[in-house]
Each structure stands twice: as structure tokens, then as C-alpha cells.
Structure 1
Amino acid sequence: MKLINEKLKNQVLESMMTIIDKNRDELLNANKKDLDAFKKDDQALYDRLVVDNSKINGMIKAISEVKNQEDPVNKEISSTELESDLKIINKTAPFGTIMIIYESRPDVTIEAAVLAFKANNKILLKGGKEAYNSNKILVTFWHEALQENGLEPDWIKMLELNREETRAFLKKPSEPIDLIVPRGGERLIQFVKENATCAVLVSGRGNNFLYIAEDADWKKTLEVIINAKTDKISGCNALDKVLVDKKIPNYEAKLKELKEVLETAKVEVIVDAEVKNTLSSLELIKDEETWFEEFLAMKIVIGAVENVEEAIFKINKYSGGHSSVILTEDNHKAAYFMENIDSAAVYHNASTRFTDGGQMGVGAELAISTDKLHHRGPLGLKQLVTNKYYVYGDGHVRV
């Protein structure tokens, strides 16, 4: 794939910022069509669909942040000269063509495209039908920015395919695809895994857990839980499960206070059998599948554990491998928990809501990866490249 110099890439991004800013009304009108057509049966999906002036400002900021980051392509990773005088240099290189499949959020049409383009990748955008008009106008803006700067619009494409057409495309793409990123729920991820014929990098479900150790600061604990659960229920970094150590002082009183605080915040609380002994009025977990579930709603599970080892076991068994938290004043216990939890992000005395490219200093993100190859956590600009070895010889042959 042809490498574009950094100056030209940044000119395209500068044009895009200007185009979005000048055409706010056109974008808002397109988004209104999507909102008017959407049945509000899924509040989390609806929240993700909304575009307002604040969201537009966020789009422009995301582009600006990526523009100001160093070009990640063609950077030297390592250099070695062997005794044979063979010189080997390892450099970063673009993936090639990335396809992202996502639901609802029009801002992904900005963040995914700006990151892929700055990292010198082409991108195929397959958004959900609920955001069709919003995505369509944003891709039109991208094409205008590319053409203003003498580049072909095929660097950023919108795929207008239904489910069956998408299945066929995944099985037999009409053009080479190097990486697919499904960004959505469990069904979408499974659909892509079953049908894709190239590498898939999973932006997994949340289902995030928080463990309250016996020595946790209770004030901090309540503040962190409320923020992690209620700040943005549509976020994959929202909290779904709380595990309380049974040895915590005033165990029953604290369970009752936690229930009251959550219910005051309008969070539905369900409990395991042990906690129901204390909070008898609450609904009991129906079956084991609930422990695996990502709610994306004002709903939370409270369960009890004997110790940190049981908490680690449960989290590693049931969570989505996204974000996990321990509340404790013991740094050694925190370190033990964080080292043994198999999640992309592990927290000590902090909300899961920080698992986000902007909050973690990465800037705009393509997704939050829960895969281990080639990267876990926010997929920012530096993570959208692979590598290539450059080997320099002078008639060298292997003997």
C-alpha cells in the first residue's frame, strides 16, 4: 500500500475538521432522521445514536488529537548488525485494509476512520442500519476532505450491506481485507468470528466486576460503584457485578447501605443466594448465565465471596476480560489481585469508566480490545500498525 506523507495526512484531517464544523446542521438533520426512525426499546443503543453539538465538538477534538500525534508508520523498532555484516531493521508498517463492524454510534465513523487513515490504512465502515443517515453524511464529509487534498475517496468506504450481504462479504470479500474489528455485543462478535476469513480483533463485551476487600474504604467504595454503574450505562466500561468480601466489618449493615445507595440512583439490584440472606426483598439471580451477562442497563448484581482468591476465580470465569476493580487499602493485596486478574484493564480504588482511549492518554480509539493478540485495551493510533523487517545484505547467501 502506498505510504502517504504525514503532512498530507494532516492536511486531510484539517479539512475534515473544517467541513464538520461548517456543516453541523446537515449532520444534525441526518441524525434526526435516524432518531425519529428508532424505536426506543433499547435505551443504551439510543444513547449511542444521539448526535448533538457536544458530540460534534467531540468528533472535531478526536480528529485534532490524532492530527497532533506523531505518525506511527515507518518508525524504527529495532536495528541489528550481525557478524556477517547483514543488517536487519524492524519498522512499523500499516495493516493494509481494516474493516470495522459497529452498532449505532456515529462517532465511531469519525474515530475509526481518522485512526486508520493516519496509520496509513484503508478502512471499510459497516455501521448499523439505525445510524445509516448519520454515517452516510459523515462519510460524504470524509470523501470531500480526501478529494480536496488530491486523494482518492476509497481510503474510507461505507459498506451498505444487510445481514446476509455482510455474511457473504465476510466469507468472500470483494477486496483484500487484513483485519476485521467487530465492535458491539456478543451476537455481533460471534457472527463475525463464524464468517470472517481473515484476522479478527475482538472488541469484547464489558461485564465488568468490582471486588470489595475486607479493608476497603467504604466512602470510596460507594462513590466508585455509583460512578462505574451510572455514569454511562451504554459504555462497555460500565460496572455490572459487585463481589463483597464476607469478612468486611459490619457486613450486613454495609450490604443494606449499598442497596439503598444503588436504589436511590434508580439501579435495579439482584443478588446471589448468600446476599439474599441479608437483602431478602431483592430478586435472586435466576441462573449461572446471569454472571456472564453484560447488562447495558441500570442493573447490577451483588454477590458475596470468602476471600480475594474466590473473587479472582469468579472474575476470571465470568467477566468479559475488559475491566476489573479491587477496593482495598492494602497495596500488596491490590497488587496480588491485579496481577492475577485476566482483564485488559485492572484497577485499584478507581472506576471502570476510565477504560477509554481519551481517559487513558491514548486519544481517539478504534475499540477496546479484549484479545491478547496483538494488543489489549484501547486501540489507539500506535496500535493500528504492524511491523516489517528490512534486511540489507551484499550478496549474502545462507550456508
Structure 2
Amino acid sequence: MILSTEKKNNVLKDLASLIQDYSADIISANKKDLELANDLDPTLVDRLKVDEKKVKGMVASVAEVLELEDPEGKILSAYNHPNGMLVENKVVPFGKILIIYESRPDVTIEAAVSAFKSGNKILLKGGKEARFSNLALVELWKKALEMNNVSTDYVEYLDIDRATTQKLLAENTHNLDLIIPRGGEGLINYIKQTTNVPLMISGRGNNFIYIHENADFDMAVDIVLNGKSRLSVCNALDKVLLSKDLPNLEEKVQQLAAKAVEFGLEVVGDDKIAKFSNQITAVDSESLMPEEFLSERILFSVTESLEEAISTINKYSGGHSAVIVSTDKESATAFQYNVDCAAVYHNASSRFTDGGQFGFGAEIAISTQKLHFRGPVGLAQLVTNKWFISGNGQTRN
């Protein structure tokens, strides 16, 4: 059964109201998770925590999706065949989507909102560290669906153990059409090796900024620091490449290192750049280049040219986001076209790679692969297409 846009929106309106009305219960459930999170990495605790601000963010994401166009049924093309048939290509949902994610209860709302409005059914497999929070939020989903006489199987939470999850992945016991893994490389690689179901990879960050020789350096400093304003997110900044031709390079490296340390960051770099400032710790930077830090650490490196910067980013980054700071439009354009990332910035922070910031409202993932979509994934990307042909008995000679 196809749900009308009105029916979908009524569900979402009720969901937003329920999240607001039950905010105290959501936060209380989250406190149970936090009490059990003693051994959890601090960055994961940051993702796990739900407070009034995060609840308001959930409500806002639902409200934003409410205002977006429903993609389901949209006609992409139409052709009147000479024999009288009408040939149409229409947008249709994938069908049944499984998202596997760690630590972030807000994904339980944002992922399901995008999937639901685009006509999909979604199975949610959250991490055990967020179990109480996720169950509380899914209960509100169930209430909103029931209030509108919509089947509750549109949003299901898989409160299952590891062995059952492994069986689901290996045997596709739930007839899935798409799996979206959101988590570390270990999780993603395991799912890749375990299932034959198509994947949409929400991969790692390890994002780079290149400070060009013609950069507005004060702007560059602001963008670097903003890139580390949250450490646990995939759009955070990890690597800073500085052009060797930057005027007063040593002085500028010292200035940036001092600002970074003042900001609470641990600045590391190779022996060459560490000589510029006693606030930079010398490390084997080559071994750290591929690593996504998700911490206070930030790596500085001097690069020979724009071409070398592009090559370095394409070799080591996660394909998520990359930034160039430059007053030279031609260099910036070359950077943006040649860097192989989902989002490429000129004179702006990588922290904007986010469905809400790009006007989608909620996002289900940030895809770092090229097929079938790249970058923040909202309801307009959780669809595929199908050909609809209407005739009156035509046969082909």
C-alpha cells in the first residue's frame, strides 16, 4: 500500500509532538545508557548523550522533513510511444532498509524520518550502549504510526544479539533491499564481508584542509579551529596541509600551532614542521595520514604544491570532505574538481557536511561511495526508479 503524502506528514507531525511531550522520558532513558557507559570512549559518550538541546534537534529535523517534497511517485520522464503506449519513469522507494549504527540515539529519529517519508520501511539496529534511549524513541514512533492507522512495521527496532545479527546479514532473513552501516571501519568491513545485500557506505572522515600560498591566513585559522569544534563527528578536520610557498611560513605555522594548542588540541607533525614550533610534537606523520583521529589530535604538514596536496588527499582521506583556503579562484576550482571527496569546500569549514546544513532536514548517512549517491543522504536519495508502461493490448512485432 502506498501512503499518501498527507498521511506521511500527519505521522511526522504527531511524532514531533510526541518527542517534545516525552522529552523528559527520553532523557531519563538516556541517563540509564550513560550510567552503563563507563568504559566507553569519550567521543562515543559525546554521541550517546541526549539533553534538551538534542531533543529539540530531533524535533527540528522532523519539522524540516515535513516541509520537504515527497519524492515517491515523482515522474522523471514520460514518453508517448508511436503505438499508443505511455512509458513513464517514476521514483520509487528501495523497499526495506536496515541501518546499523553506534551510539547516536538521534539517528533513530533522523534515519527513520527520511526513510519513512520516502516510502521505505526501516529496520534500526542500534548499538547496545544506546539501547534504552533507542527503545524509548522507537516507542514514540510506534505511537505516531498507530495514531494514524499506519502499520507499525514501517519502523522496527532490532533488539537482537550478535549471533542473530550475523544470521540476518549472512542469510538476509528480513528480505532487505539495502543496508546502511554507520560506524567505524571495523564494522563496515565486517558487514561488507558478511552480506550480499547492497550497501550504502557511510564511511570515515579523515578530512583535510589545504592552506594555499594565497590564503587569507586569519580565515584559514578560523576554519581549522571550527573543523575541530566537535571531535566525535565524521565532518571534523584531522589534517592541515600548508603550502611551502605561504609567505612567512614558519611564523604562520607557529601562529596556527599556538591557536590550536590554546583551543585544546594536540598538534603533531613530521620532523621538518616540528622544528618550526615547540608546540608541535614530532611523529611519523606518514603512518598517521590514513587515520581518522576522532580526538583532540590534529596533524600539520608542509606540501610542495597544489598538485601534491590533491594527490595526498586522494591517497589518504576517507573521501568525505576536503577544504582549500585560497584567494585564487582558479586554484580553488582545480582543487574542487580534482579532489575525490563527497564534499569539497573553498573558504568554508568541513563541518557543514551535514544533511540539515545542506537543506535536507534529517539525514540517514553521509555516503562516501560513488554509487548510487554521494554525500549527505536524505529522503530524496533513499529512492530508486522504475518504468511504468500503460497500453491497451499492444504487442511487439
Alignment TM class, shorter chain as reference: over 0.9
101-110 or 386-395: bigger deviation: 386-395
| Paired position in structure 1 for 2:197 | 198
Give matches, 1:182-261, under 5 Å: 182-229=181-228, 231-261=229-259
Mapped to 1, the partners of 2:46 and 2:227 lie a distance apart of: 17
What amino acid sits opposite 1:318 in the alignment? Y
- Displacement of 1:284 in angstroms is 2.8
Structure 2: segments with no counterpart, 5+ residues: none
Counterpart Cα distance in 2 of 1:125 and 1:17 = 19
Within 5 Å, give how 1:235-384 maps onto structure 2.
235-279=233-277, 282-286=280-284, 288-384=286-382
In the alignment, which residue of structure 2 is the partner of 1:4? Answer: 3
Q: Which stretch has the larger CA shift, 131-140 or 170-179?
A: 170-179
Q: CA deviation at 1:83?
A: 3.6
> Is residue 13–residue 145 contact of structure 1 (8 Å, CA) maintained in 2?
yes
8 Å CA contact retained: 1:272, 1:304 = no
1:93 is aligned with what amino acid? V
Change beyond 3 A, Cα 1:270–1:15? same
Aligned residues: 397
Q: Mean alpha-carbon deviation: is it higher for 306-315 or for 143-152?
A: 143-152
**What is the Cα deviation at residue 44 of structure 1?**
1.1
- The C-alpha deviation readout for 1:140-190, integer Å capped at 9, x for no partner, is 111111111112211111111233321221011222100000111111111
Q: Distance in 2 between matches of 1:251 and 1:161?
A: 55
RMSD between aligned alpha carbons?
Answer: 1.4
Secondary structure in 2 matching 1:288:
helix
Q: Is the 8 A contact 2:235 2:353 kept in 1?
A: yes
Tell me what 1:74 maps to. 73
Partner of 1:97: 96
Higher mean Cα deviation, 300-309 or 153-162?
Answer: 153-162
Task: Answer with 275-284 or 180-189: which moved more.
Answer: 275-284
CA contact (8 A) 1:73 1:92 kept: yes
TM-score scaled by length of structure 1: 0.97
1:181 maps to 180
Aligned runs of 1:114-193 on 2, under 5 Å?
A: 114-193=113-192
Residues 269 and 284 in structure 2, CA contact (< 8 A), matched pair in contact too: no
C-alpha distance in structure 2 between counterparts of 1:95 and 1:106, whole Å:
24
Structure 2: distance between partners of 1:281 and 1:388? 58
The Cα offsets for residues 65-109 of structure 1, whole Å up to 9 and x where unpaired, read as: 111212110001111223444431111001100000000000000
How far does residue 277 in structure 1 lie from its aligned partner after superposition?
Answer: 3.6
Q: Structure 1 unaligned runs (5+)?
A: none
Provide the C-alpha distance between the structure 1 equivalents of 2:159 and 2:69, rounded to a whole number of angstroms.
33
TM-score (norm 2): 0.97
- What stretches of structure 1 move > 2 A for 4+ residues in a row? 81-87, 161-165, 276-289, 392-399
Report deviation, 1:120: 1.0
Residues 329-356 of structure 1: per-residue CA shift (max 9 Å, x gap): 0001100010000000000011000001
C-alpha change, 1:41 and 1:18, in structure 2 (3 Å) is: closer
Contact 2:168 2:174 in 1 (8 A): no
CA contact under 8 A between 2:11 and 2:148: conserved in structure 1? yes
| Deviation for aligned residue 1:198 | 0.8
Q: Which amino acid aligns with 1:276?
A: A
- TM-superposed deviation, 1:368: 0.7
Amino acid aligned to 2:205: G
Alignment identity in percent?
A: 47
Q: CA deviation at 1:27?
A: 1.0
After superposing the two structures, state which structure 1 stretch, 275-284 or 128-137, moved more. Answer: 275-284
Deviation at 1:323, TM superposition (A): 0.3
Aligned to 1:65: 64
